[in-house]
Amino acid sequence: MLTVDAKLERFRAGSPPFRLDISIAVPPGITILFGPSGAGKSTVLDCIAGLARPDAGRIAAGGEVLFDSKAHVNGPPQTRGVAYVFQTLALFPHMNAAENVSYGLDRLPDQERTARVEEILGAFRVDKLRTRKPSEISGGERQRIALARSLVTQPRVLLLDEPLTGLQAELKAAIIEDLRAWNAARRIPILYVTHTREEVDALGERVIAMDHGRVVSEGTPIEVLEAPRRKWLAQAAGFENLLSGTVVDLREADGVMRVRLDDSRCEIEVPLGYAAVGHRVRVAIRAGDILLATSAPQGLSARNVIEGQIVAMETRGTLVRARVNCGVEFIVHLTPGATRTLELAGGRQVWLVLKTHSCHLVEQ
Amino acid sequence: MNMDALLLSLRLALCVSVILLAGGLPLAYSLAYSNWRGKFLLEAVVALPLVLPPTVLGFYVLLAMGPRGPLGKLWQMFFGHGLAFTFEGLVLASVLYSLPFAVQPLIASFESVDRKLLDASSVLGAGRLRTFWRVILPLSVPGVVTALVLSFAHTMGEFGVVLMVGGNLAGVTRTVSIDIYDHVQSLEYAEANRMAFVLLAFSFAVLSVVYGVNRQVGRQIGRRLWTAWTAK
């Protein structure tokens, strides 16, 4: 288990100070640290590795205290037993793959060192590249060697800072599989930083979402991404409709509130959130969660039925993207089949149906 | 031709370059990687010989080395003779005079090493010394070669400082440049020309060979770094 309590303040010329204030616990296995660039993800990793020093806090891994501002403990990076794979990988350009991997094992006798290097090169399927320099091998192979170099030291914790950026999905998945297999027996905490939704879906056991130096959400990928509480999280999670509005009515008994969308007479019902009448809110709705009807629907459980007109249709592969003007513009995703059957086209009058629970309140 | 003067110059240049490399590595390291408050003062001191007239530097070094100067007294105490007008004194003065030519290229090449490589090294358990030997130094080969060549060539060609500190003692402090000056003063142009031409040809040959080698090494390393960087 890795526990991190860290407070840190950095003053930067010409911009507001950056403040980091987090408290997280990372169990064995892969945990994703998710957030937009500038959220402080890499700073968290630097604090754990000892490359940055928090102003206050405590960091412990596997029962060992790595940093404790009160007890004046601040272990240097080389004694922390924390492995760190950087976004740039930072393989030593003048050493071949085997030399890179054995770099962290200088205290071992030759024979054991060679054995360990061979074992891990095999585990990450790069044993044929041992005499190649980093410049002579492909991106995916470099990533595997960087992983092997970090893990061969048998660290307490593994930190990965977007190490698989730029790789194809299949290659990524294969490397992740090898990493999981390696960690199955060892069960060390792995903190994996990313800002892309696909990696969260591919890796997802646990997600910690960060923004502006704070943890904003924590849980399974579904919990964190399906009910986004922040605008960037909504965008990252693929909510095509992000609408601003004003709360006009709270119905606490029903667990809902009504929101009037900006620049229109359009009102929708959304789940009750922390807001009062008159408050400005933002509502996120997935384009795929909206139903479209060509006549006014009746007898529906859905509370939000909005009349509008199709502005434009656009086919993207097996998906049709319709822009519908209801005073505000909605994006709706349809199948080509539905589009044909309903004879949908620009200018056609339609009704949009939104379930209350498909409308998510998002913090400004 | 005065072979003594030529050999003396070569010996002096060799001693100075070796000492400057040994001392320049830690000095350049601290200037490249540390960030203490008074660092700019040290930087200014290191660069001083670039702008000072050799006579000014030579004058103060001579005072320091004289029988009443701090260096002279210290030397007298340990070795039983003075420092001024000796080969050792000449070495010391030349080391100071050529300091920026050794330190500046080292700083430049240390600073060009990707900081992430240093972070990676320390996370992998290496202390500063090991990181220096295994990562920084191998990636700074062009800078090291440049530092060696420049301090060697600069010492070969120095005149003012030698004249101030060493005087003109045959076999002890009479270097090539002093010898040439002597011949010109005595209107022995043929002798002066022979010596000057040898120095010119030698300097050109050394510089060409070393820059040639250096460029290949530099290119090779540059290419490796470049590929690593562009493929990320």
Over range B29-41, report the average pLDDT. Answer: 88
| Pick from A240-254, B90-104, B206-220: least confident | B206-220
Nearest chain B residue to A88, by CA: B232
The whole-angstrom distance between A237's CA and the closest CA on chain B is: 26
d(CA A32, CA A221): 9
Is A100 touching B (CB cutoff 8 A)? no
Average pLDDT over all residues of chain A: 87
Total CB pairs under 8 A between chain A and B:
86
Tens of pLDDT along A35-53?
A: 888 888 999 999 999 999 9
How much is the average pLDDT of B197-217? 77
Under DSSP, the state recorded for A104 is G
Helices (H), B34-127: 39-51, 54-65, 70-79, 87-111, 115-123
- pLDDT, tens only, A84-119: 999 999 999 999 999 999 999 988 898 999 999 999
| pLDDT the model gives residue B231 | 46
Question: How far are the Cα atoms of A109, A151, A152, A188 from residue A115, in angstroms, in the given order?
Answer: 10, 14, 11, 22
Q: Which residues of B touch A77 (CB under 8 A)?
A: 119, 122-123
From CA B39, how far away is CA B25, in angstroms rounded?
16
Q: What DSSP assignment string belongs to B47-62?
A: HHHHHS-HHHHHHHHH
* Least confident stretch, A7-16, A118-127, A321-330, B11-20: A7-16
Q: Is the pLDDT of residue B208 over 50?
A: yes
Mean predicted lDDT score pLDDT of chain B = 86
ipTM summary value = 0.78
For residue B2, pLDDT over 80 is answered with: no
Beta-carbon separation of A90 and B117 below 8 A? yes
Model pTM above 0.80: no
Predicted confidence band of residue A14 (pLDDT cuts 50, 70, 90) = confident
Please report residues of A whose CB lies closer than 8 A to that of B119. 49, 51, 77, 84, 86, 90
CB A37 within 8 A of CB A212: no
- The pLDDT-based confidence of B216 (bands split at 50, 70, 90) is low
For testing contact with chain A, the best of B109, B118, B123 (most A CBs within 10 A) = B123
* Strands A304-316 vs A349-354: parallel, antiparallel or unpaired: antiparallel
Q: Do B119 and A77 touch (CB under 8 A)?
A: yes
Which pLDDT score is estimated for B225? 55
How much is the average pLDDT of A233-261? Answer: 81
Residues of B in contact with A147 (CB under 8 A): none
Confidence check: pLDDT of A313 > 70: yes
Please indicate if any CB of chain B lies within 8 Å of the CB of A336. Answer: no
Task: State whether A103 and B122 contact (CB < 8 Å).
Answer: no
Q: Chain B interface residues facing chain A, Cβ-Cβ under 8 Å?
A: 114, 116-117, 119-127, 130, 134-135, 138-139, 221, 223-225, 227-229, 231-232
Tell me whether residues B122 and A77 touch, CB distance under 8 A.
yes
Closest residue, chain A, to B226 (C-alpha): A135
Which range has highest mean pLDDT (A102-106, A281-285, B166-170)?
A: A102-106
Distance between alpha carbon B52 and the CA centroid of its chain, in Å? Answer: 16
DSSP string, A52-93: S--SEEEEEETTEEEEETTTTEE--GGGS-EEEE-TT----T
